[in-house]
Structure 1
Amino acid sequence: MSQLRLDLQFFSGEKTEKATPKKREDTRKKGQVAKSQDVNTALLLFFIFIAFIIIGPFWKERLTGLYQKVFTEYLSWEITFDQLHIIFIDVLSYIAITIAPIMGIALVIGLAANIIQVGFLYTTEPLQMKLDRINPISGAKRIFSLRALVELLKSVFKIAIVGTITFYVLWSNKDEIMMLSFGSLDGALSFLGQTVTTMGISAAIALLILAVFDYAYQRYDYEKNIRMSKQDIKDEYKNIEGDPLIKSKIKERQRQMAMRRMMSEIPHADVVITNPTHYAVAIKYDETKADAPYVVAKGVDYVAFKIRDIAKNHNVVIVENRPLARALYAEIEIGHVINETFYQAVAEVLAYVYQVERKA
C-alpha cells in the first residue's frame, strides 16, 4: 500500500516534496520570500517610542521654541505674500529638523527588519505589470481565500490586543488624568508623554511577541507554497543537467570520435603488443614528442581485433606478449608515456621490431 501511494503521488503531481535549492533561488529572485510585516511594524513601533524617551527633552524644547516664535515674532509681522512665504519656509524647516531624528530611526529600523528576515534582496519582479492582478476572478479568489481570512483574523486580534493594552494603561492612570487640570503645564506634558510612551512600548512588545508567531506561520506557508511534486523535481533536473537520453547520445558520439582518432594513430605506431586475442596496445617512440615510448591506442576484444586488423593492413609489427599487453592496458592511458617499470620490456620489444624492420 505504501509503494502504491508513492506511485500515485508521482503521477498525480501532488506537491509533497521540499523545494530544491534552485526552486528557492528562483522564487527569491521573484521577490517571494518568507516575511512577516508584523515584525517590521513591531520593531518600528518599539524603537520609535524608545527614541521618544531619549529625544523627549529635545522635542519639548523645539516645540515650545516654535510656540514662542509664532506668538512673539510672527504675529507682529505685516501680512504679505512674501512674509507668508518666509514664515512657511521657516516653520517647515523647523519642523523638518525636529522630526529628522525619528525619520532617520524609522528608515534604519525598517531596513534592518527586512534584512533580518530575508537578507539583502533587490528585485523588480513584484513591480512588473501582470494582467492576472487586474483579473476580477483572480482578485475575488485572493480576497476570499484562506490566507485572506487568516490575515483578517490576525488584524482583528492585533487591534484587540492593542486596544486592551491602551485601555489598561489609561485606566491604571485615571486618577492622575483627572488631576491634570490642577497641575502645571510642564507636569501635564511630562505625564502625557510618559503615558503615551508606556502605551506604545507595551503595545510594541505585545505585537513583537505576536510577530514571532506570525513569522513562523509565514515561514510555514512559504514552504507549503513552494513545495514540488516528484515530476517537478524530475523536470528541473532535466533542465539543469539535460535530458539523460540526449546526454547519453552526446557521450556515445564523443566515444565514437575518440575511437576514430585513436584508430587513425595506429598506422603510425611502431609496434602492437597483443594478448594475442583479448588485448592489444599500440606503442610508438618519437624522440621529438616524448622522452619515452607512449601508448597511441589500446583496446580489448572487438577493439583489440580492430587494432590488430589496422596494424596488419599498414604493416605495423605485431608482437605477442600476454603479461606486458595486460599490464600496459591496465596502467597506461592513451597518449601517456610508459612507466619506468616497463622500460626494459618495451625496449626489448622495440629492439626486436627495429631488427625485423632492418632485415625487411
Structure 2
Amino acid sequence: MAEQDDAEKSEDPTQRRLEEAHKKGDVAKSQEINTWFVLSGATLVILAFAQGMAGTLAGYFGGMLGNLGAISLSAPDTRGLFVQVILATLAAIGIPFAVLAAAALAGNLIQHRLVWSLDPVTPKLSKISPLAGFKRLFSAQSLVNFVKGLLKLVIVAAVMFLIVWPDRDRLDTLMTLDPADLLTVVQALALKLLAGVIAVMTVVAGLDFAWQHHSWYQRQRMSLREIKDEYKQAEGDPMIRAKLRQVRAERSRKRMMAQVPQATVVITNPTHYAVALRYTTGQNAPVCVAKGVDRIALRIREIAEEHGVPVVENPPLARTLHAAVDVDAEIAPEHYKAVAQIIGYVMQMKARAAWRTNRP
C-alpha cells in the first residue's frame, strides 16, 4: 500500500504543501553543511585564537601551580578557587566557543529560514513502535545514509593520511620540543589537516545538500486527489459554493422584488423582459430598481399590477435597458430621451386620473 501511495504521488507539491511542511519542521537539511561550517569555524579559532587562548591559560595555571604552597584547602577557599578556575577558563575560551556556535547556527540558516515548531519533538507512537523503527532501520534512506557515511569516513581518513604521512618523521620528535615550539608545530599540522578535510567536505556537503533537497522534495509530492482536496479546503467545496451563490441570488432577488412597488414605471417586452424604473423630482436620472427575464419578468409585472405601478410595453427599450443597466444604477444618458417620453406619458396619465377623481 505504501508503494502504491508513493506511485500515485506524481504531481509537484503546491506552495501550500511546502509551507505546511516548513511549519511542521520538515525541511531540506544536510548535516554535512553543518559539519562544514563547524570545521570552518574551528579553523578560524585555531588560526586566530589558539595562541592567545593557550597563552592566557598557560599564564593563569602556571601562576597557580607555582604558588601551590600558598593555596588554602579549606572549604570556602576551595570553592572560591574552583569558581576562579572556571571563570578564567571561560574567559579564555568564551570567544572561540561563540565563533563555533555562530558557525553551527549559520550552517542551519543558510539551508532554510528559521523554523519554530514542536512537531519534530512531539511524542508519537510511530517513533516508539518497534515495527516502524525496524522499517526505518532497513529503509532505502537508511542504506543511503550508511553508504554515504562510510564513503565520507574513508575519503576523509585517506586525505588525513596523505597530509600527515609526509610529516611522519617529525611526529617522533614532538615530545622533545619545548611547549611553545610544540604549540606552533601542532597548530600548523592541525591547520593543514583541517584545510584538507574542509576541501573534501566542500564537495561532500554540496552533493549531500543536493541529495537531501531532492529527497525532501520527493517526499512532498502529491497525488491528484490530494491536490483536489487541498483546492476544496482552500476554495471551499464546489457544491457548497454553488449553494451559497444560490442563496445569495435568492436573497438579492427578494430585495429586488421588494422595490418594485416603489417603481414609477415597468417597461416590458411584454413577457420576456421587464425593467422597473423609479424617478422622483430632483433625481439626476431614473434608477433601475428591478429587472429580469421570463419567470422573473412575469413576477415583476404581477407585483407592479398588484400595487398599481404602470406597465408599459416597449420591446426594444426593454431589451436595451435590461442589457445596459444594473439594478440600483442610473440609466445611461443615451436612454434619457426614450425613458423620459415614457415617464412623461405615465405622469400625464396619473394627472388625468387624479383630475377625474377630484372632478365634482
TM-score, normalization by structure 1: 0.91
In 2, are the aligned partners of 1:42 and 1:205 still within 8 Å (CA)? no
Residue 356 (structure 2) aligns with? none
Deviations 1:89-124 (A, max 9, x none): 111111111111121112212222211111122111
RMSD: 2.1
User: Which of 165, 171, 187 is the equivalent residue of 2:181?
Assistant: 187
Q: Which amino acid aligns with 2:187?
A: G
The Cα shift of 1:308 comes to 1.9
Deviates more, 1:197-206 or 1:140-149: 197-206
Deviations 1:298-318 (A, max 9, x none): 112332222222222222111
In 2, are the aligned partners of 1:272 and 1:280 still within 8 Å (CA)? yes
Residue 318 (structure 2) aligns with? 325
In 2, are the aligned partners of 1:271 and 1:284 still within 8 Å (CA)? yes
- Aligned residue pairs: how many? 350
Residue 7 (structure 1) aligns with? none
The Cα shift of 1:177 comes to 2.4
- The change in CA–CA distance for 1:168 and 1:75 in structure 2 (over 3 A counts) is farther
In 2, are the aligned partners of 1:11 and 1:231 still within 8 Å (CA)? no
In 2, are the aligned partners of 1:45 and 1:201 still within 8 Å (CA)? no
The Cα shift of 1:171 comes to 0.6
Residue 143 (structure 1) aligns with? 137
Distance across 2 between alignment mates of 1:221 and 1:287: 74
Residue 311 (structure 1) aligns with? 304
1:277 aligns with 2:271: yes
Deviates more, 1:220-229 or 1:184-193: 184-193
Distance across 2 between alignment mates of 1:55 and 1:313: 98
The Cα shift of 1:56 comes to 2.3
Distance across 2 between alignment mates of 1:335 and 1:356: 26
Residue 195 (structure 2) aligns with? 201
Residue 96 (structure 2) aligns with? 102
The Cα shift of 1:233 comes to 0.9
Deviates more, 1:54-63 or 1:93-102: 54-63
Distance across 1 between alignment mates of 2:31 and 2:175: 41
The Cα shift of 1:297 comes to 0.6
Matches within 5 A, 1:340-351: 340-351=333-344
- The change in CA–CA distance for 1:126 and 1:76 in structure 2 (over 3 A counts) is same
Q: SS in structure 1 opposite 2:111?
A: helix
Q: Which amino acid aligns with 1:210?
A: V
In 1, are the aligned partners of 2:37 and 2:106 still within 8 Å (CA)? no
Q: Which amino acid aligns with 2:43?
A: F
User: Which of 123, 130, 133 is the equivalent residue of 2:127?
Assistant: 133
User: Which of 63, 70, 81 is the equivalent residue of 2:64?
Assistant: 70
Distance across 1 between alignment mates of 2:137 and 2:167: 41
Q: Which amino acid aligns with 1:161?
A: I
TM-score, normalization by structure 2: 0.91
1:155 aligns with 2:149: yes
In 1, are the aligned partners of 2:279 and 2:286 still within 8 Å (CA)? yes
- The change in CA–CA distance for 1:169 and 1:63 in structure 2 (over 3 A counts) is farther
Deviates more, 1:160-169 or 1:300-309: 300-309
The Cα shift of 1:160 comes to 1.3
Q: SS in structure 2 opposite 1:295?
A: strand
In 1, are the aligned partners of 2:72 and 2:78 still within 8 Å (CA)? no
Deviations 1:307-339 (A, max 9, x none): 222222222111222332222212211011122
Q: SS in structure 2 opposite 1:118?
A: coil
1:31 aligns with 2:25: yes
The Cα shift of 1:275 comes to 2.5
Q: SS in structure 1 opposite 2:200?
A: helix
User: Which of 162, 169, 187 is the equivalent residue of 2:163?
Assistant: 169
Matches within 5 A, 1:196-275: 196-275=190-269
1:58 aligns with 2:42: no
In 2, are the aligned partners of 1:283 and 1:293 still within 8 Å (CA)? yes
1:302 aligns with 2:295: yes
Distance across 1 between alignment mates of 2:6 and 2:106: 43
Q: Which amino acid aligns with 2:305?
A: K
Q: SS in structure 1 opposite 2:277?
A: strand
The Cα shift of 1:162 comes to 2.0
Q: Which runs of 5+ in 2 are unaligned?
A: 354-360
- The change in CA–CA distance for 1:11 and 1:285 in structure 2 (over 3 A counts) is farther
Residue 357 (structure 2) aligns with? none
Residue 42 (structure 2) aligns with? 48
